Amino acid sequence: MSAAEDVLFELLHMEIVKTFTDSKDKDDAASKLEYIGFTTGYRFVERATRETNRFKDELDIMKYICKVFWVSVFKKEIDNLRTNHQGVYVLNDNNFRFLTRISSGKQYLQYAPRFVTFTCGLIRGSLANLGINCVVTAEVSHLPACKFQVQVQRG
Amino acid sequence: MAVSLTIIGKENSPLYIWMDEGRDSLQLQYLAHTGLDVIQEKISVGQKLPGDSRELYLGLLYASEEYKIYGYTTNSKIKFIVITDVTNAALRDNEIRMMFRHLHSIYSTVVCNPFYVPGEKISSQ
Amino acid sequence: MSRQNLRAIDPKKVSGELFTLTYGSLVAQLLKDYENVEEVNRQLERIGYNIGMRLIEDFLARANPGRCYDFRDTADKIQQAFKLYLGVSPSIGSWSPGGDEFSVVLDPNPLTEFVELPDHLQNLRYSNVLPGVIRGAAEMVQIEVLASFIADSLKGDNITEIRVKFVKRLEDAVPAGED
């Protein structure tokens, strides 16, 4: 059984998703969910890195996101991190918590995007505050696994 | 206590400036500005000074005849600069470090206010 | 990454802050979407109501609180739930003579840990999700209540106080399972 405060966070997330996907301006739902994640991540990482030593480089920051950050938010590490060393990072979570409550099966796959958008924003906001501007997208092909792709914007 | 405190944003614009009344503000601003240059040098990418602990507290940046200038940086690229009197012997390295950590804590609280827009000047007490 | 960076921060504290910050982002977004602050208050209460309806299931499974025999039991359980989910122990008091109304006093209110309310938002009930949660959770155990803020330290009051009023038992609803 997950910790009580995590259940509360999960329920809040679920209600946020519902509130914006059910609202009259559905089209904006994704960008609003992403933005709510962005501002949350931006602020959260400011608190969370207070006791953290200065990061060495971009890879050091990505490792922090995959380990410490992911554990703080989702109580597990990212299962696999890959990079092409040219600013593209792929983070695999084989058991992404916001997807574990959706029944697996192809017919439910279409609902997956709304449950990962907040987290795309969460990653983008955290990295933005740590000095990395990027675009974050997610791909779900097998529930409840999720693949987040971070594309760093240089220049 | 310190005679001046400056908080400098990601793009090196000041977010907050406080100075002890009756001091030469132009001189203190100049010292802080020079301090910022030293910080930039210390944290520049690829710079691997031997024995660098990668601590957020950067220690004494430099000293003038009258003042000591200390620096601190957050992982979010915010810089804090504190200036003290050279003659102030009560403030040891560890006290300065604690002062910075306290400042950092306050700063992170300000950022977490949902009505604060990051990068804006800080008006809160 | 250096070893020191892997040092554990108190996970309970971190989870609590994550909830607080996510909630703050939600409030900020709703304020952008609705011009009317009253509507934002209503939305926050509705979101709380929905959370409460689901949270009660978890609470019953986790805390095994037993049956509520009277409204005083209900008050105790609300206090217990605040401790469990938000890590704070509110005080319960100011009972009405008839025993059908009480106050939940929050000190501190974890939702407002970082919040400074701008002057133009004095009508915002920032933490309105909380009375919503109480109403939603109570309804699932066949108790209809009214819950609302009557004092808020964000607005300069000395305390943050939610007033909970018993309305009626929902006898006609789905019967509660036998214990």
Taking only the tens place, the pLDDT of each residue in A129-145 is 999 999 999 999 888 99
Strand residues in chain A grouped as ranges (E): 80-83, 88-93, 134-139, 146-152
Confidence of residue C136 (pLDDT cuts 50, 70, 90): very high
Q: Are C108 and C88 in contact (CB under 8 A)?
A: yes
**pLDDT for the residue A1:** 58
pLDDT above 60: residue C21: yes
Does the interface predicted TM-score (ipTM) exceed 0.90? yes
CATH number of the domain that residue C32 is part of: 3.30.1380.20
pLDDT value at A99 more than 70: yes
| Count: domains in chain A | 1
In a domain, C26, yes or no: yes
Residue C160 in any domain: the answer is: yes
CA B17 to each of CA A59, A70, B33, B79, C172: distance values in angstroms, whole numbers, following the listed order: 34, 35, 12, 12, 64
pLDDT value at position B45? Answer: 56
Q: Say what the pLDDT of residue A143 is.
A: 86
Convert the pLDDT of each residue in A102-128 to its tens digit.
776 677 788 899 999 999 999 999 999
Confidence bin at C46 (pLDDT 50/70/90): very high
- The predicted model gives A68-94 an average pLDDT of 95
Mean pLDDT of A60-76: 95
Mean of per-residue pLDDT scores for chain A: 92
Residue C173: the pLDDT is 53
Residues C37, A31, B74, B120: what is their CA dihedral angle, to the nearest 10 degrees? -50
How confident is the model over A97-106, as a mean pLDDT?
Answer: 80
C45 within a domain of the structure (yes/no) = yes
Per the structure, the complete domain to which residue A142 belongs is given by 4-152
Instruction: Tell me how close the Cα of C159 comes to any Cα of chain B, in angstroms.
Output: 20
How far is the alpha carbon of C38 from chain A, nearest alpha carbon, in Å?
17
Cβ(A89)–Cβ(A101) under 8 Å? no
DSSP structural state of residue B119:
T
Chain A residue with minimum CA distance to C19:
A9
pTM: predicted TM-score of the whole model, two decimal places? 0.91
In a domain, C31, yes or no: yes
pLDDT confidence of residue B125: 44
Cis peptide before C110 (omega within 30 of 0): no
As for how many domains chain C has, the answer is 1
Structure tokens at C103: 């106050």
Residue to substitute from B52, B108, B113, interface C, most C β-carbons within 10 A: B113
Say yes or no for a CB contact (<8 Å) between B77 and A131.
yes
What band does A77 get if pLDDT is binned at 50, 70 and 90? very high
Per-residue pLDDT, A135: 97
Q: Give residue C102's domain range.
A: 11-169
**C-alpha distances out from residue A101 to A14, C60, C140, Å:** 10, 19, 21
Comparing CB atoms, the residue among A46, A50, A54 nearest residue B73 is: A54
Helix (H) or strand (E) holding C103: strand C101-106
Tell me what pLDDT residue B47 has. 57
CATH number at residue A18: 3.30.1380.20
Q: List pLDDT tens digits, range A45-60.
A: 999 999 899 998 999 9
* Chain B residues with CB-CB distance to A129 below 8 A: 76, 118
Taking the domain B4-112, which CATH number applies? Answer: 3.30.450.70
Q: Which chain C residues have a beta carbon less than 8 Å from that of B109?
A: 113-114
Q: What is the pLDDT of residue C179?
A: 40
Query: By a Cβ cutoff of 8 Å, what residues of chain C touch chain A?
Result: 1-2, 4-7, 9, 11-12, 14-19, 21-26, 28-29, 33, 43, 47, 50-51, 54-55, 58, 61-62, 84-87, 114
Return the partners of chain C (3 or more C-beta pairs < 8 Å): A, B
On whether the CB atoms of residues C110 and C24 are closer than 8 A, the answer is no
Asked whether residue C6 is domain-assigned, the answer is no
What's the mean pLDDT in A22-28? Answer: 75
Strand (E) or helix (H) holding A112 = helix A112-129
Nearest Cα residue to C148 out of C172, C160, C131, C133: C131
More confident call, C13 vs B15: B15
The answer on pLDDT for C5 being more than 80 is no
Q: Single out the residue of C172, B45, C23, C111 nearest to residue A56, CA to CA.
A: B45
Q: Can you say whether residue C64 is alpha, beta or left, with left for phi > 0 and alpha for psi between -120 and 50 degrees? A: left
Q: What ranges do the domains of chain B cover?
A: 4-112
Which of B54, B109, B114 is opposite residue C27, by nearest beta carbon? B114
Q: Give yes or no for A40 touching C (CB within 8 A).
A: yes
Residue corresponding to tokens 């696999």: A80
